[in-house]
Structure 1
């Protein structure tokens, strides 16, 4: 069959014409594109020529002037004064050699500068860690290359097979360095000491190279070499000084050094507040608690760097400001007298052998209405030398069974729970329970005596307190009775005790307060009551079970003196600014009395308790007759709690007592509340506690009247 369709001819004239038409558009588009690129390139060349020729001098001046940066510099902390304006903590200004590290500075450059500094000034080598030595070794490029050459392929990868970051790779490189292969000369140790300080500093942040025993000659030579060693400068540094030596040093606290910087556990918190990693901050007690007030306000300096990021100049643009000051409630003169009183009496106990097992002696004096701490003194024996050392912290961090000192709180619990009323009479008699166990008052182990509430406090009747506890169990004493298992009464008693500050925080303005031991484990793992659990409850009623700190005992007796108002103790009177000379200025924040709670007892009930405590000192059977004749009349309550100590020579367990006393004076218008704790004394008849109370009251009258 014949095909009538005309066959397609690729090279026909018609197809060729169509292709030529299409081809003609391509060169045109390319030419247009090249033309646009040419115009843009020409414009760029013209602009660059303009900038280089017309603006050359302007840019050269900018480069010559360098880049300016503002850096912050530390300012000294505020002072701490006693109640009468005597400096307890100040600042000692020291001449210092400083170095400000430029940006992009390599380890090799830091090592070179460190050597230059060592050649200029005397540097005392510091203790170097293994890491410090390795960093110094690797500052030598040859040593770095050698260590890196020891890295395997797997060393350079993480667990996912990915390339390690530069910092992680450097840590791996450190592992390839063995410090034992290198000999550190005295010169190396000096250079490494400076290297460590500069290497750990942030760029454009001054670091102290030397601040002790800087001589005028060294200041001069540094001034002569600031051009050859950019970043090196002379300045002033400060450190805390204590004009009164060790007086209440422990509660004042400490401040970190520039080397220590921010404490690791709080670094993140401080950094969020704008601190630098090497800033000095309060590490403990008042320095820590009042960090926000004591810290200085940073100064500012302008740093100029050249095109190579080298520092060419530095000038102060805003001076730093000293931090605010603390004025304490503690009068140093009175504090010293209380220390002397406690030391003299405690040393006598030691010399007599009565304090063989004692682990301290403590006195706290406060102003009941305000909570002002007037004195807090603690002493302890150094186990190696036997010398007495400061332990003021023990006044609120160590807890002991106080004995009968807390009986006023038990009386109030009896009132609150309707067990007694007014000056109620109960019979003091030995209490005999099922199984023959006997509990009695120390003054009456055989007879039977009717006692009013006032008399119960005067003679320190344990039985009166135990009968209050029995009443809370809905029980009346009968010979050979069994005690009902009413462990809820623990909470009933403790609820009242807490109203006086016993067993709970006093809320003193110092960190890490201890609250004593309040035992709440009444049953064994099988749910059976532990042996003696209810007998321990009776012991609790007269202070022979739970433990309290001397500060808690003081708050308790201050609450009694206040007629039931519990006030938080505080050692800071206020925060003060600085005058034009940098000395103590105007008050900025006054620490006002903080009422924590008010006991809802009747005024007549507190009057009865007060009468009982007055009789402890002045009554015919009072247990603190030795406090009579003080400069201010005293109301008090003594305590002797039986406890135990281990004889270190033969490991025998021996019975000892905690000797305590609490009181206030004058008893008709209380100005001070006093607590005395002498733990683990061997003589239950010893009256050193009473003597200390009287002497402290006399010292107060001498210094405050």
Structure 2
């Protein structure tokens, strides 16, 4: 059956449209393909040819963080008087960009910065700072086109990049350098560039602070937009307020140039420090670095593609470090320093002082019941400059043989070992061991003396007999000690250590000396150990030792810092307490109470009837303690032989007051005196004045407190 003519026409048109549709789709697909291909090619061009420049622009327009220094925590004395403050220091800093910078860029920046500042103003010092290498590097950067001619192709073949650069510098001659006129202005540019070269990426580096004038600071601050990476900031330095008193215990900081110690850089960097941060390297600055450091202000800068800062936001508010409140009263500390210096000066200027060895006097004062350090004083006479210098650090770093001051510990060791008991009598006659010098007391104290009398009159022989008994030795005149147990050295040192002798005291400082332990186990040396003339101890150890006896056998940890506080509100006093350190008992000596009480009785009689009685007679305050004198031979080379040429004496005095419920303990060491008796009073003079000053300041403090109470009531 034939189709209708109109139906045939419709079918023909439909077939034509179906034939056209694939053709149009193909054109569309080809067009899309070509567009994507062009985009991929363009992306490749950006990544491969222009990637570095594109990344640079991205970095420039990113938010770039920066950190600004804040003041460290302050230190106050026990009366909340400020003793260590911060001093504002104007500084110019440089912070390299995130992806580093070029040497040419730093030179250009140095040239721009040199228009406003001179970082080394003394021409002679400037000449010393700029080395020949610095001048060669400058020539290298200014003559890039001539650098390839410095080495032949053969010379370059076997050199890596670093070696090639060094070889090129070596090839720069004096004739090359003479092309420039090395004026102070040009040398200043080189000095600035050296500082810029020292900076670490994204870490502010101090270009100059010392010697920077207000005008220079203002000039740089005005042109910061033209000096990429440069900032004019306020840095901080430490300012002790008591002319060096106790400053050796405050400690030191690294300089801006040094930054964090490189040997411990991993530790500091992992704890949020940057390379150029200043940190404590000694004393309380190091011990309490985590408290004093503060929180740096963090600023986010937004820059445009030209590197201009278009916005800045403080993302972390800066906060200065926490404050420390010390146990020391600086008025009393200053008075103790004055006492020690005056008495040392008197002793040195004494006409009988003809040995020339006397140079030091050391004193430590502490609270025996809490461990609070009340004063640390060390004065040294500098004979070359004829001046007296405060070197209080010697009280914890220098150790000396103290002599008889430690005899209280020897007697207590004898009690606890069971070789003597309360009331034990022994002869004081001279001891003579074969092949050793005679061993005797400073005078013959009789054929039979008690333990109390031995302490009171400082019997050497009584202590030696205790030592021999601890060693289990049999003594016969002019014969060796039979059955001598050499472990007696360890036994006695173990008892001494319970009082803090020969071990670290635990004071809150990063380092302290523990003294020197003798290494020759000769039998005679055990006798000398028992009277304080073999091992050496620091003045702080002696103060802890006598404090332990005063405190009924409880050894307290010495402490310089009592509290950590929030920064104050600007009225000159510290803020609220964050942490308060309670007194800490390190150990209780392994001895019966009755034995400690017996030694305390002996210590009282030293001052009322014994070796200190003549010096302390009619003293207005009750004091107990022990005197000490240790022979100190002086050796020198004579005809190539190392021989004894002289003899001096270390003088020591330890004590506490009052005898019952003592509140202050002290130790004094005056090493290397002559042997003339006219100078044997220097340690007593220091001790007496220290105790008098303590009670004077205590009375004054009590009066002030009473006045404050009355004022509050009103």
Give the alignment's TM-score, normalised by structure 2: 0.83
Work out whether 1:676 is the aligned partner of 2:675: no
Equivalent residue number for residue 572 of structure 1: 561
C-alpha distance in 2 between matches for 1:334 and 1:154: 76
3-state SS in 1 of match to 2:686: helix
Seen in structure 2, the aligned counterparts of structure 1 residues 189 and 46 have a Cα distance that, compared at 3 Å, is closer
C-alpha distance in 2 between matches for 1:172 and 1:263: 32
Shift of 1:96: 3.3
Contact kept? 1:443, 1:459, Cα under 8 Å: no
Shift of 1:89: 1.7
C-alpha distance in 2 between matches for 1:301 and 1:481: 82
- Could you say what the CA RMSD is over the residues aligned between the two structures, in angstroms? 3.3
Contact kept? 2:633, 2:644, Cα under 8 Å: no
Contact kept? 1:516, 1:548, Cα under 8 Å: yes
Equivalent residue number for residue 614 of structure 1: 604
C-alpha distance in 1 between matches for 2:151 and 2:584: 64
C-alpha distance in 2 between matches for 1:124 and 1:200: 16
C-alpha distance in 1 between matches for 2:263 and 2:39: 60
C-alpha distance in 2 between matches for 1:461 and 1:652: 26
Contact kept? 1:426, 1:451, Cα under 8 Å: yes
3-state SS in 2 of match to 1:380: strand
Q: Deviations over 1:246-286 (max 9, x none)?
A: 11111111111211212233233222222111111112111
C-alpha distance in 1 between matches for 2:67 and 2:384: 47
Shift of 1:455: 0.8
Seen in structure 2, the aligned counterparts of structure 1 residues 87 and 480 have a Cα distance that, compared at 3 Å, is same
C-alpha distance in 2 between matches for 1:217 and 1:435: 78
Specify which of 667, 686, 690 is matched with residue 692 of structure 1: 686
Q: Deviations over 1:433-460 (max 9, x none)?
A: 346842111121xx73321111110100
Seen in structure 2, the aligned counterparts of structure 1 residues 560 and 151 have a Cα distance that, compared at 3 Å, is farther
Shift of 1:311: 5.1
3-state SS in 1 of match to 2:284: helix
Structure 2: runs of 5 or more not aligned? 1-24, 43-53, 700-714
C-alpha distance in 1 between matches for 2:163 and 2:588: 60
Equivalent residue number for residue 412 of structure 1: 412
Equivalent residue number for residue 137 of structure 2: 138
Contact kept? 2:130, 2:191, Cα under 8 Å: no
C-alpha distance in 2 between matches for 1:154 and 1:326: 66
Shift of 1:120: 2.5
Work out whether 1:443 is the aligned partner of 2:443: yes
Pairwise mapping of residues 276-675 of structure 1 onto structure 2 (< 5 A)? 276-307=274-305, 309=307, 314-352=312-350, 353-354=352-353, 356-434=356-434, 437-444=437-444, 448-484=446-482, 485-522=484-521, 533-581=522-570, 584-619=574-609, 621-646=610-635, 653-675=645-667
Work out whether 1:111 is the aligned partner of 2:107: yes
Seen in structure 2, the aligned counterparts of structure 1 residues 451 and 312 have a Cα distance that, compared at 3 Å, is same
3-state SS in 1 of match to 2:656: strand
C-alpha distance in 2 between matches for 1:322 and 1:98: 20
C-alpha distance in 1 between matches for 2:154 and 2:646: 65
3-state SS in 2 of match to 1:642: strand
Equivalent residue number for residue 90 of structure 1: 85
Q: Deviations over 1:68-114 (max 9, x none)?
A: 22222222211122222222221111333344433543222222222
Equivalent residue number for residue 20 of structure 1: none
Seen in structure 2, the aligned counterparts of structure 1 residues 229 and 479 have a Cα distance that, compared at 3 Å, is closer
Q: What is the aligned length? A: 646
Pairwise mapping of residues 181-330 of structure 1 onto structure 2 (< 5 A)? 181=177, 184-212=182-210, 214-307=212-305, 309=307, 314-330=312-328
C-alpha distance in 2 between matches for 1:386 and 1:501: 36
Seen in structure 2, the aligned counterparts of structure 1 residues 108 and 310 have a Cα distance that, compared at 3 Å, is farther
3-state SS in 2 of match to 1:91: strand
Specify which of 29, 34, 38 is matched with residue 41 of structure 1: 34
Shift of 1:194: 1.7
C-alpha distance in 2 between matches for 1:175 and 1:434: 72
Contact kept? 2:119, 2:212, Cα under 8 Å: no
3-state SS in 1 of match to 2:448: strand
Contact kept? 1:136, 1:195, Cα under 8 Å: no
C-alpha distance in 2 between matches for 1:585 and 1:148: 65
Q: Deviations over 1:464-502 (max 9, x none)?
A: 101111211323544334213422111111111111111
Name which of structure 1's ranges 182-191 and 305-314 shifts more when overlaid on structure 2. Answer: 305-314
C-alpha distance in 1 between matches for 2:197 and 2:684: 60
C-alpha distance in 2 between matches for 1:39 and 1:652: 104
Give the alignment's TM-score, normalised by structure 1: 0.84
C-alpha distance in 1 between matches for 2:128 and 2:166: 15
Shift of 1:64: 13
C-alpha distance in 2 between matches for 1:663 and 1:191: 63
3-state SS in 2 of match to 1:552: helix
Shift of 1:130: 7.3
C-alpha distance in 2 between matches for 1:45 and 1:394: 79
Equivalent residue number for residue 16 of structure 1: none
C-alpha distance in 1 between matches for 2:434 and 2:637: 37
Contact kept? 1:104, 1:309, Cα under 8 Å: no
C-alpha distance in 1 between matches for 2:196 and 2:519: 55
Structure 1: runs of 5 or more not aligned? 1-31, 50-58, 523-532
C-alpha distance in 2 between matches for 1:371 and 1:518: 25
Shift of 1:413: 0.6
Q: Deviations over 1:623-653 (max 9, x none)?
A: 3432244443100100111111257999961
Equivalent residue number for residue 7 of structure 1: none
3-state SS in 1 of match to 2:566: strand
C-alpha distance in 2 between matches for 1:128 and 1:303: 38
Seen in structure 2, the aligned counterparts of structure 1 residues 277 and 426 have a Cα distance that, compared at 3 Å, is same
C-alpha distance in 2 between matches for 1:154 and 1:271: 44
Equivalent residue number for residue 5 of structure 1: none
Seen in structure 2, the aligned counterparts of structure 1 residues 97 and 478 have a Cα distance that, compared at 3 Å, is closer
Contact kept? 1:371, 1:567, Cα under 8 Å: yes
